[in-house]
Structure 1
Amino acid sequence: MPRTATALTSWCRAIKSALEESGVDSEQLFRESGLQPEALKDANARYPVEKTIRLWRLAVEATGDEAFGLRVSRHIRQTTFHALGYSLLASATLDKAFERLIRYFRIVTEAYELDWHRESQSFVFLIGVDGHSHRPTHEAIDAFAAVAVRLCRALYGESFACERVELERPPPDNADFWIRALRGPVQFGARRNAVHIGVDIAQAPLENANPDLAVMNDEIVRRYLAEHTQASIVDRVHSLLVESLPNGEPGQQAVADSLHMSLRSLQRRLAEENTAYQQVLNDARRELALAHVANARYSLSEIAYLVGFADSSSFSRAFKRWTGESPSQYRKART
């Protein structure tokens, strides 16, 4: 039976604020959509996506505003994305921020299929739709694209501009709203919803990057996903490894015990997700190592301990396999 897609209530809090700004009775529309407004007070609560789409439609009808999605985007806050919002703001580059957004966006909603890839001299942020979900409104897509641009401005600076934006929606009566909000030329009636960002901008080091803060909030995201959504076994194992590595590498049996399953069940479920314990362990170590090495506060011997290696030489060999550089070379190039 297909799972029911959900979304953090915080996204609907932005819709509520935009409705009230427009003089519309938001509580009435919430109830007509089958949503309980009281849930907005719970930062961890989630709404069924089917009902949030109904809210979007009712909101656009009530306001008569073709740019309602753009207005909603102005009410999105750092906390709208839970701990992911803090991870994004601490990312080293826009490239890393979007990679993080793709990896953990399930904390916000499972309704979208996102992608971030390079096309020639641009990176493209693609906003697709989960095939199991009801299709979002054009206004919801507008809001999401505008939020992505606002994130780039917050990280890169006010000078940020997109190369172009593609939207499937039909041309609006006044395209100027979209051009201003999306900071670049907009193609309406396109075959996809995509934001194009220049490679140089996407890979430029960000002034406020904080690798430790990013990793710390990534872990909060993984814990939330494990507790509140249908988290994959990879996410759950990864979360346990990040917690355990500073105390030494945990064995597979210890991880299986922590997840209340047999070792054979753990291995089988990881295989079903096309991976294995050693691969998840390597990924967790690599993620922690890259964050810590970029922070000069830690010595390389301390980092070796923090990511579960018995000595610095073993850590250095592994790090060179991951990056093609020694830890000291990697640090020197980024500080």
Structure 2
Amino acid sequence: MRLSSITTPLHPDLDTPTHSMLGLAALAAELAAEGVSVDALFARTGADARQLEDQHARISHRQRLAIYRNARLLARRPDVGLLAGARQRISDFGIYGYAMLSSSTFGDALKFSVEHVMMAGAVFEVRYRTRGSTSVLCSYGVDALGDLLPFVAEFWRSSMTVLFSRVLEAPFPSKKMVLSFPAPPHWRNYERMFNCPVEFGAETMEWHFDSSVLDRPCPNANPITAQICQQLCERVLDERPDIPDLARRIRVECLNASGAFPSAAEMAGRIGMSVRTLHRRLAADNCSYQSILDDVRRSLAIEFLENTSMPIEQIADRVGFSDATSFRKSFRKWTGNAPTQYRDGVRSLDVNKVKLF
């Protein structure tokens, strides 16, 4: 498998609570082992240590950086970022980790990982590309981190190395780490952690690895589990405050509609603009009316399949399809599974879903 370039940008407002708490439990555990309390780690950040146990908790970019700064100042060892990352477990990353673990191939897992990297606590932009036998993960926007960059790089890269290795159930085949900051006193620990040469003082931030790993099957692959976890991740992202206002308003209008979903012209009339303006503004937000409508239908269908025993024919009617055949075809296109197959998979995972949280 070869992936095209993927970019995950940061939210432009650094004070908007877009970050989950995933991954921070390992940092708290490492500092606790050094005698640092979790309350001290969260002091003066505006975040609450109790949020570590709340799947719905969100913190801002600045708050996450404040937690990282506290960790660096309070730690007794300079390589605390590497050590904390090495503590990560699949469960520390919740549904994000389980979605990767159950992917068909590592290429699928990596694509999902990069596209949803904000869920893993990234505080910089991540891009991906392939150069023949070598693939590269690139970090951008790191200059704004200042003297916190080494700690952030250590924690994120060691966390991802461990996570990737757990998905593969084998060491991740890193070829080279390229870092833009000078070598720290504990630089030898980098080579031991990443099992590859490390280049300091470079002009870029890059992580080179063997492209052949993209085609490697994941030992715990399960299409149904992967689909369910990815759907849950999408639902989490749907809750983010950075969804464009117009798209959010249209979603609400569709969800509150009685009977058939409104057409684009009807929706434009409801929200007080011409249909041409509606399409133009949605295009500016990189979406379309049909994509929003399909997303609402998909979300409603999943809710009905997961939480009711409603017959497929009735669900099809509730989400705006003229017949069950058209619904089945669309649902398979949206999720990769037939509605009945999806519902059966959810029921078989009821116990495991509790464990995810």
The TM-score, its normalising length taken from structure 1, stands at 0.70
1:148 lines up with 2:170 in the alignment: no
- Displacement, 1:145? 0.9
Shift of 1:73: 0.7
Distance 1:303 1:157 in 2: 40
Match of residue 224 from structure 1: 236
Distance 2:266 2:117 in 1: 25
Following superposition, the deviation at residue 88 of structure 1 comes to 1.0
CA distance in 2, matches of 1:251, 1:228: 25
Paired amino acid for 1:165: M
Q: C-alpha displacement at 1:194, in angstroms?
A: 2.0
* Aligned twin of 2:15: 4
Match of 1:329 in 2: none
Q: How many residues align structurally?
A: 286
After superposition, where does 1:199-214 map in structure 2 within 5 Å? 199-214=211-226
Classify 1:279/1:202 alpha carbon distance in 2 versus 1 (closer, same or farther; 3 Å).
same
Q: CA deviation at 1:123?
A: 1.1
Q: Which residue of 2 aligns with 1:18?
A: 30
Structure 1 gaps, min length 5 = 241-249, 285-301, 320-335
Structure 1 residues 60 and 212: alpha-carbon distance in aligned structure 2, compared to 1, 3 A threshold: same
CA contact (8 A) 2:176 2:207 kept: yes
Structure 1 residues 152-186: Cα deviation after superposition (integer angstroms, max 9, x where no partner): 21122324321111122321223332112112111
Q: Distance in 2 between matches of 1:154 and 1:254?
A: 50
- Counterparts of residues 194-273 of structure 1 (less than 5 Å): 194-231=206-243, 264=275, 267-273=279-285
Q: Which residue of 1 aligns with 2:330?
A: 308
C-alpha distance in structure 1 between counterparts of 2:149 and 2:13, whole Å: 21
Amino acid at match of 1:92: S
Match of 1:119 among 121, 128, 131: 131
Structure 2 residues not aligned, in runs of 5+: 1-11, 253-260, 297-323, 337-357
Cα separation, 1, equivalents of 2:287 and 2:55? 33
Amino acid of the structure 2 residue aligned with 1:119: R
* Separation (CA, whole Å) in 1 of partners of 2:325 and 2:133: 35
Pairwise CA distance, 1:231:
3.0
Measure, in 2, the Cα distance between the counterparts of 1:303 and 1:152.
39
TM-score normalised by length of structure 2 = 0.66
Moved more, 79-88 or 15-24: 79-88
Counterpart for residue 322 of structure 1? none
Conserved 8 A contact 1:56-1:137: no
What displacement does 1:9 show?
Answer: 2.2
Helix, strand or coil for the counterpart of 1:163? strand
Contact 2:31/2:37 (8 A) holds in 1:
yes
Q: Is the 8 A contact 1:53 1:137 kept in 2?
A: no
User: Structure 1 vs Structure 2: percent identity of aligned residues?
Assistant: 21
Instruction: Give how far 1:68 is off.
Output: 0.9
Q: Aligned partners of 1:162, 1:235: CA distance in 2, in Å? A: 40
SS in 1 for 2:239: helix
Shift in CA distance, 262/198, structure 1 to aligned 2, threshold 3 Å: farther
- The answer for the alignment partner of 2:353 in structure 1 is none
1:83, CA displacement in angstroms?
Answer: 1.7
Which one is further off, 178-187 or 153-162? 153-162
Tell me the SS of whatever aligns to 2:77.
coil
Question: By how many angstroms is 1:70 displaced?
Answer: 0.8
Q: What residue identity is the alignment partner of 2:186? A: N
| Gap change, CA 1:134 and 1:148, over 3 Å in 2 | same
* Cα distance in 2, alignment partners of residues 89 and 261 from structure 1: 46
Q: Identify the match of residue 51 of structure 1 among 63, 78, 82.
A: 63
Partner SS for 2:127: strand
User: Within 2, Cα distance between the matches of 1:256 and 1:86?
Assistant: 38
Once residues 282 and 44 of structure 1 are traced to their aligned partners in structure 2, the CA distance between those partners, rounded to angstroms, is 25
What is the aligned partner in structure 2 of residue 293 from structure 1? none
Does residue 100 of structure 2 align to residue 78 of structure 1?
A: no
Aligned-pair distance for 1:255? 12
- CA distance change for structure 1 residues 107 and 232 in 2, over 3 Å: closer, same or farther? farther
CA distance in 2, matches of 1:169, 1:60: 16
Q: Classify 1:303/1:53 alpha carbon distance in 2 versus 1 (closer, same or farther; 3 Å).
A: farther
Cα distance between partner residues in 1 of 2:326 and 2:42: 51
